[in-house]
Every structure is written in C-alpha cells, then in structure tokens.
Amino acid sequence: MHEGAIAEGILTVALDHMNRNKGKVIGEVGLKLGELSGVEEYALRTAWQVVTRGTAAEKAVLVIDRVPLAGRCRSCDRERLIGKEIREAAGLMEPVYGPSLVPYSFICPVCGEPLEVVSGREMQVDYLDID
Ligand SMILES: [Zn+2]
C-alpha cells in the first residue's frame, strides 16, 4: 500500500468537502480503517503530516477508528470476529494489525463452513470537522 497516495486521497476528499461548505480550516478527520485494509497506521500518519503541510488541513487531527475483521457464516448466519479467539489464546488483548503475527481463521468454528468477510477491509473517511 502507498500511504502517501492514500493520505493525498483523504486530503482531497476533506478539502472538497470544506470548499463546498465554505469552510476555512479542517480540525479533525475521522477515518475508518479495517484490520485487513493493508494500511500501516504509522506510515499513514507520517504521510498525512507531509501532504497537509501548507494546506487548510495542516493542523487537522487524524482520528483513526480501526475496524476489526469479521465474517459471516453462510450456514449458521452468525457473525464472528475472525482470529479473535486465536488472538486471545495467544494472550493478545489488542487486535493485531498489519502483517498478521497470528493466523486468521476464515472457517466457522461451529459449522466448518467458510466465513464471508463482512468488515475489516474499510478505508474510508467517516466524518470531517470543519470550521
Ligand atoms: Zn457457522
């Protein structure tokens, strides 16, 4: 993933929105980032500081909401966090992001059917705080 291009894309969305609403300064940008979006948070924050320099978003805070990876079983129709049990067993309270250190299970533990991913791939602007 190219975090620089992603940061530029977010900035374009934010500035467009600001201009349409006749705003002057972007105070906050809320972002939904899926566990499997492939975006590295630190690299994105660094790129964000670079691309916003000298723009109306220069002081904007990037608020990143990480969306856990979840799947739905076609057989029992239940939604499950993929890999959550494995992470807990490994003693990891926080979800592991980025290149996974622990394996994900895409199989329903009850039915043995494949899980269809329903969330965790998001990469979208959730909200904007503009003055
Ligand atoms: Zn199932």
| Cα dihedral: 51, 57, 58, 60 (round 10) | -110
pTM confidence score: 0.76
Counting residues of the chain whose pLDDT is more than 70, the rounded percentage is 82
Cα(113) to ligand 1 centroid in Å equals 6
- Tell me: the pLDDT tens digits for 82-130? 865 555 655 554 554 544 445 577 888 788 888 898 998 899 999 999 9
Cα(79) to ligand 1 centroid in Å equals 9
Alpha carbon of residue 52 to chain centroid: 19
Give every CB contact of residue 99 below 8 A, 6+ residues apart in sequence.
none
φ, ψ dihedrals at 92, nearest 5°: -100, 110
Cα(121) to ligand 1 centroid in Å equals 21
Region 49-58 average pLDDT: 97
Task: Output the domain CATH number for residue 101.
Answer: 3.30.2320.80
Q: Supply the range of the domain harboring residue 113.
A: 3-130
Which of the two residues, 99 and 53, has the higher pLDDT score? 53
The total domain count for the chain is 1
Cα(116) to ligand 1 centroid in Å equals 11
Q: Could you tell me the maximum CA-CA distance found in the chain, to the nearest angstrom?
A: 55
Cα(29) to ligand 1 centroid in Å equals 37
Region 32-48 average pLDDT: 91
Cα(33) to ligand 1 centroid in Å equals 26
Cα(72) to ligand 1 centroid in Å equals 8
Cα(109) to ligand 1 centroid in Å equals 7
- Tell me: the pLDDT tens digits for 68-95? 888 999 999 998 888 655 556 555 545 5
Which of the two residues, 81 and 55, has the higher pLDDT score? 55
